[in-house]
Amino acid sequence: MAVPIFAPVPADWPATEEHARAVQRELRGRVVLDEPGPPPGTGRVTGVDVAYDDERDVVVAAAVVLDAATLTVVEEATAAGPVAFPYVPGLLAFRELPAVLAALDSLAGDPGLVVCDGYGRAHPRRFGLASHLGVLTGLPALGVAKNPFTFSCADPPAARGSTSPLLDGGEVVGRALRTQDGVRPVFVSVGHRVDLETACAHTLRLAPRFRLPESTRHADALCRRALRAATLHQPRAPGHPPVPWGKPPEPGDGPGSTPEARERSQN
């Protein structure tokens, strides 16, 4: 599988943490918070995610478009490029966005609502990945994160659909949302042009069976697959990597390789 697009890092992309934080403070004023957002279960929803090979300085992004009513995949795209920024908590967008934007650009159809891996408003400067993506694309966007980052919240009741406020000190920045009975919650925050209530309703609809939304599960699987394919015959930098034992596992192994098992293991 060839990864069709090469996404160079934009020439004006921030290279320092200080610059990146300044960009966040400047762009955060453009976030639109007074739109309810698209009605859940209608139109299209697009999941985006990225996978890294820091060893080879490669990031691959995937965008998977779903029909919101049926959760059927209607379109997919990937894009690869150099890693644009180191991982710094609070500056994740600068690492992921160039590749994600390239993947979104290569879609033929309208992405509709974009579901990001990570946060939007729930961010030290109220401008996480989902907000940044929304502002740069103009698309409605929300964030679904797998852990509470630096924020705090009560454990929501055990039933699917239960929520509790996600707090930064006294300010509500998102919600912990239980998407399955008795399973750890996910952490939803607004990105751009969606309100928190609608963002949670979308997230719940997108997760009828697993903890994570189908949109992010599809995007996660696709970018990993594409990264493997893009990287499979490239030599690694000499020295570092430990040589693993035995031979690599065959496709369609035993248990532990099913989607359900993967989901549970990260839960």
Residues tagged in the binding site annotation:
49, 117
Any idea which residue has 């908590």 for tokens?
A: 89
Tell me which stretch binds DNA (CB under 7 A): 10-18, 102-110, 196-204, 220-228: 220-228
Q: Is 171 helix (H, G, I), strand (E, B) or coil?
A: strand
In contact, 75 and 107? CB cutoff 8 Å = yes
How many whole angstroms separate alpha carbon 117 and alpha carbon 215? Answer: 10
Q: Count residues binding DNA (CB under 7 A).
A: 36
Smallest gap from residue 203 Cβ to DNA (A): 13
Residue 85 in the binding site for DNA (CB under 7 A): no
Residue 90 in the binding site for DNA (CB under 7 A): yes
Smallest gap from residue 146 Cβ to DNA (A): 4
Return the structure tokens found at 93. 């967008």
What letter does residue 152 receive in the DSSP assignment?
Answer: B
Q: For 176-206, give the DSSP string.
A: EE--STTS--EEEEEEES--HHHHHHHHHHH
Q: Angle, to 10 degrees, between the axis of helix 17-27 and the axis of helix 129-137?
A: 60
Residue 244 in the binding site for DNA (CB under 7 A): yes
How many whole angstroms separate alpha carbon 4 and alpha carbon 214? Answer: 24
Tell me which stretch binds DNA (CB under 7 A): 102-110, 112-120, 175-183, 199-207: 112-120
Q: Which of 145, 177, 201, 226 touches DNA by CB under 7 A?
A: 145
Residue 50 in the binding site for DNA (CB under 7 A): yes
In contact, 142 and 130? CB cutoff 8 Å = yes
Residue 196 in the binding site for DNA (CB under 7 A): no
Q: Which of 31, 62, 99, 119 touches DNA by CB under 7 A?
A: 119
Smallest gap from residue 163 Cβ to DNA (A): 17
How many whole angstroms separate alpha carbon 166 and alpha carbon 3? Answer: 37
Give the residues lining the site for DNA (CB under 7 A): 49-52, 87, 89-93, 117-119, 123, 128-129, 143, 145-147, 149-150, 220, 224, 227, 242, 244-245, 254-256, 258, 260-261, 264-265
